[in-house]
Amino acid sequence: MILSIVSMEGLLYEGEAKEVYAPGEGGELGIYDNHTPIIATLKPGEVRYVENDQMNSTYISGGILEVKNNAVVVFSDTAVRSSDLDEKKILEAKKDAERALGDHLSNEEVASTEAAIAQAIAQLRLIEKYRKG
């Protein structure tokens, strides 16, 4: 099947994948050849896919997954290859967001800040996962 991972910045990946795993809102989704068509919401986390018998990993900030006609498309505001995640920058962004929660924020700003913290935590978990190898 063909997998496409698309972010606001453009196409991050497109290619043949034997298996795709994505962080669905209700749990991990496993997608294989000739999968039934679906549309699902995704939470921040890791999209894994097997290409040429090798597991690959991409962080997404959440989004939507669509499966149809033996093709999988992941739409996400942010998508970064796991190997490209910068732990120092992520930790700084998390600390900034946590400090901002101490300010007088509107409900919308609190929700946005909490989402930024959740994304940073998901990224840090992914870094730790691959560090342990």
Please report the beta strands in 1-133, taking only residues with DSSP state E, as ranges in sequence order.
Answer: 2-7, 10-16, 19-24, 27-32, 38-51, 54-68, 71-75, 79-81
Query: Which CATH superfamily is 2-82 part of?
Result: F0F1 ATP synthase delta/epsilon subunit, N-terminal (2.60.15.10)
65, 46, 53, 43: which is closest to 19 by C-alpha?
Answer: 53
Condensed to tens digits (0 to 9), the pLDDT of residues 71-83 reads: 999 999 989 988 7
Break the chain into its structural domains and give their ranges. Answer: 2-82, 86-132
pLDDT of residue 98: 86
pLDDT at 82: 80
Query: What's the average pLDDT block by block, 10 residues per block, for the chain (133 residues)?
Result: 95 96 96 96 94 92 96 95 82 85 81 83 79 64
Sign of the dihedral through C-alpha 70, 58, 122, 106: negative
pTM of the model: 0.78
**CATH code of the domain made up of 86-132:** 1.20.5
